[in-house]
């Protein structure tokens, strides 16, 4: 935009192509006109790879402009008829303009700086001299450019001092030398190597998370595909018991074993068949006790499966493990991000941050998997499963408005509602049904102490018995629908208030 203002001051017509909306929306039109004779285009990297500038202009684009001047739009029937005639005429004009541009030397690329990557410069050069057309490119650099100043400053300055020429007024003259070009390319090569190392280091950090992600997602895929994970669960629960035992029996001397604390932790995971009183530290070996406890947790698992049934056990395994994995994996991702933010500080202690990151990430992942299976065991052995019948043969719920949540979920979608029967409705309505005339009904209700009802009682007599219904999880109760509780009122004036 600075160059655009300078060209405006000198009266040079031109067009600008950059990422700003007012210019980007005219990108196609700007590119199509960039090859016409005498056209000046100021562009950023948007005019790099993939841009084909045709010398002489674009015949189709100019035909569209000519038809637009005539007031024709593509959806009009006359548009196609005029297109063939106008396109032939414009095509001849474009061919003549092409010859004019070729005679002038073709497309000239003028670069005001060198990019950090040689690839970008080569893409810009490649806009000219395409498909046998002539063209030329030239770059102008300043010794104060970031590329020169940061990566080739001292050497470039020495060359300028030695070869630099000045005019009669003492102004420095531009220098064109192969030595300068090589120095600039050397600076670009250094920048590219530095950027490559940065990307490589980022990839190495990402590989750590990718390996962990493959393990966790492997479990999730097996669960979602309905694979039987019972054998895997047995092995992992036995491993969890093994780790717990070795933690409390780490010492080689039985006097230092913490057996009461160990059995307390085991009982929180599963109902142990072995009590701490049955274990004599002086008469039992550590490895034999660990093997016995591993077998004990597998037996408890099989007993739990016999209690619930194979089908329900498989469903409970999948639901429980999937929920635990998702929750713990989200927490692990936050912990890994926190570790990644500060791991570079290990460099001050002469420790490679990447090595430290891999080591700590491995320990955190081991802790994650151990926590998942320990929590899985605690939930699987202690959850109270209640199966609701779908065939209507279940015993009738107690009268009155009650709700019964399942112990395995706190969601209200699993609640069962009951509103009682017509005989259980307030005594005022019962008295209204039994009484005769309106006066007798009001007297009867007054004597029962249930309040006074006016002439609207006549309508109450014909009110049908209130029916309750069970709301499905996917069903949504409308505001004007009857409330699910069986009160007979609209949902918006009852439980939806």
346 within a domain of the structure (yes/no): yes
Residue 309: what pLDDT? 86
Residue 475: what pLDDT? 61
136 and 248 part of one domain: no
233 and 368 part of one domain: yes
137 and 259 part of one domain: no
175 within a domain of the structure (yes/no): no
Which of 325, 350, 383 terminates a domain? The answer is 383
482 within a domain of the structure (yes/no): no
CA 40, chain centre distance (Å): 44
Q: Name the helix (H) or strand (E) containing 403.
A: strand 402-403
116 and 261 part of one domain: no
**SS3 of residue 136 by DSSP:** strand
CATH number at residue 341: 1.10.3060.10
DSSP for 159-188 reads HHHHH--B-TTSPBPP---HHHHHHHHHHH
240 and 379 part of one domain: yes
404 within a domain of the structure (yes/no): no
7 and 131 part of one domain: yes
Those residues with Cβ within 8 angstroms of residue 403's Cβ, 6 or more apart along the chain or in another chain: 415, 416, 417
Number of other CB atoms surrounding residue 345 within 10 Å: 11
User: How far, in Å, are 49, 124, 138, 285, 352 from residue 43 at the CA level?
Assistant: 13, 10, 15, 80, 43
Q: Are strands 402-403 and 417-418 parallel, antiparallel or unpaired?
A: antiparallel
495 within a domain of the structure (yes/no): no
Does residue 162 have a pLDDT over 80?
no
Distance from C-alpha of 31 to C-alpha of 153, rounded to nearest angstrom? 36
The tokens describing 442, both together, are 């009001």
Q: What is the mean pLDDT of the chain?
A: 76
244 and 342 part of one domain: yes
365 within a domain of the structure (yes/no): yes
Residue 368: what pLDDT? 92
Q: Give the tens place of pLDDT for each residue, 304-334.
A: 888 888 888 888 889 999 999 999 999 999 9
In degrees to the nearest 10, what's the CA dihedral of 455, 461, 464, 470?
Answer: 60
* Residue appearing with tokens 């005001």: 112
Q: What would the mean pLDDT of 49-74 be, rounded to a whole number? A: 80
Does residue 465 have a pLDDT over 60?
no
Please tell me which residue, 211 or 58, carries the higher pLDDT value. 211
The tokens describing 464, both together, are 């049908």
> Residue 46: pLDDT band by 50, 70, 90 thresholds?
low
Size of the chain in residues: 497
Q: Give the tens place of pLDDT for each residue, 365-404.
A: 999 999 999 899 888 888 887 766 555 444 444 444 333 3
Which of 383, 406, 441 terminates a domain? The answer is 383
Q: Give the tens place of pLDDT for each residue, 224-281.
A: 988 888 888 889 899 998 888 888 888 887 778 888 888 888 888 888 888 888 777 7
Q: Taking the complete model, does pTM exceed 0.85, yes or no?
A: no
Instruction: With beta carbons less than 8 A apart as the criterion, state whether 160 and 145 touch.
Output: no
232 and 378 part of one domain: yes
CATH number at residue 40: 3.40.50.300
Strands (E) located in 47-134? 107-111
Residue 469: what pLDDT? 57
Residue 417: what pLDDT? 37
Q: Could you tell me the residue range of the domain that residue 76 belongs to? A: 1-143
Q: What would the mean pLDDT of 156-165 be, rounded to a whole number? A: 69
399 within a domain of the structure (yes/no): no
The domain total for the chain is 2
Q: Give the tens place of pLDDT for each residue, 12-37.
A: 888 887 777 776 677 777 877 888 88
Residue 372: what pLDDT? 92
136 and 256 part of one domain: no
Which of 383, 410, 433 terminates a domain? The answer is 383
Percent of the chain with pLDDT over 70: 76
Does residue 163 have a pLDDT over 90?
no
Number of other CB atoms surrounding residue 270 within 10 Å: 22
Q: Give the tens place of pLDDT for each residue, 405-460.
A: 333 333 333 334 344 444 444 444 455 455 544 444 444 444 444 444 444 434 43
């Amino acid at each position: 935009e600075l160059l655009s203002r300078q060209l405006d001051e000198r009266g040079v017509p031109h067009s600008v192509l950059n990422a700003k909306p007012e210019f980007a929306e005219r990108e196609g039109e700007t590119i199509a006109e960039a090859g016409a004779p005498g056209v000046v285009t100021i562009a950023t990297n948007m005019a790099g790879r993939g841009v084909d500038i045709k010398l002489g202009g674009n015949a189709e684009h100019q035909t569209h402009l000519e038809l637009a001047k005539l007031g024709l739009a593509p959806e009009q029937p006359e548009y196609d008829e005029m297109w063939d005639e106008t396109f032939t005429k414009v095509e001849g004009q474009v061919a003549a303009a092409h010859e004019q541009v070729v005679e002038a030397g073709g497309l000239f690329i003028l670069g005001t700086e060198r990019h950090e990557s040689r690839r970008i410069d080569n893409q810009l050069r490649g806009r000219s001299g395409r498909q046998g057309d002539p063209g030329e490119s030239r770059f102008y650099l300043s010794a104060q450019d970031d590329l020169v100043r940061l990566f080739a400053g001292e050497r470039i300055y020495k060359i300028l001092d030695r070869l630099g020429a000045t005019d009669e007024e003492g102004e420095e003259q531009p220098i064109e030398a192969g030595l300068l070009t090589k120095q600039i390319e050397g600076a670009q090569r250094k920048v590219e190597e530095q950027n490559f190392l940065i990307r490589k280091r980022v990839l190495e950090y990402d590989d750590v998370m990718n390996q962990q992600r493959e393990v966790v997602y492997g479990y999730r895929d097996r669960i979602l595909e309905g694979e039987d994970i019972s054998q895997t669960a047995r092995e992992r629960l036995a491993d969890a018991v093994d780790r717990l035992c070795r933690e409390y029996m780490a010492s080689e001397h039985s006097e230092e074993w913490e057996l009461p604390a160990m059995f307390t932790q085991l009982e929180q995971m599963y109902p142990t068949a072995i009590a701490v009183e049955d274990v004599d530290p002086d008469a039992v070996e550590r490895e034999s006790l660990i093997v016995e406890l591993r077998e004990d947790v597998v037996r408890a698992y099989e007993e739990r499966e016999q209690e619930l049934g194979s089908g329900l056990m498989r469903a409970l395994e999948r639901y429980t493990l999937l929920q635990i994995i998702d929750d713990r994996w989200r927490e692990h991702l936050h912990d890994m991000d926190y570790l990644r933010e500060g791991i570079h500080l290990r460099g001050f202690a002469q420790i490679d941050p990447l090595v430290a990151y891999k080591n700590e990430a491995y320990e955190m992942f081991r802790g994650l998997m151990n926590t998942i299976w320990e929590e899985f065991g605690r939930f699987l052995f202690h959850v109270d499963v209640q199966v609701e019948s779908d065939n209507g043969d279940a015993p009738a719920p107690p009268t009155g408005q009650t709700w019964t949540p399942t112990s395995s979920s706190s969601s209200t979608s699993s609640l069962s509602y009951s509103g009682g029967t017509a005989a259980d409705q307030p005594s005022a309505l019962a008295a209204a049904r039994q009484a005769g005339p309106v006066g007798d009904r009001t007297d009867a209700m007054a004597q029962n102490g249930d309040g006074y009802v006016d002439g609207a009682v006549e309508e109450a007599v014909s009110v049908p018995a209130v029916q309750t219904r069970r709301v499905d999880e996917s069903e949504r109760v409308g505001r004007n629908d009857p409330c699910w509780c069986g009160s007979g009122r609209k949902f918006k004036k009852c439980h939806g208030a």
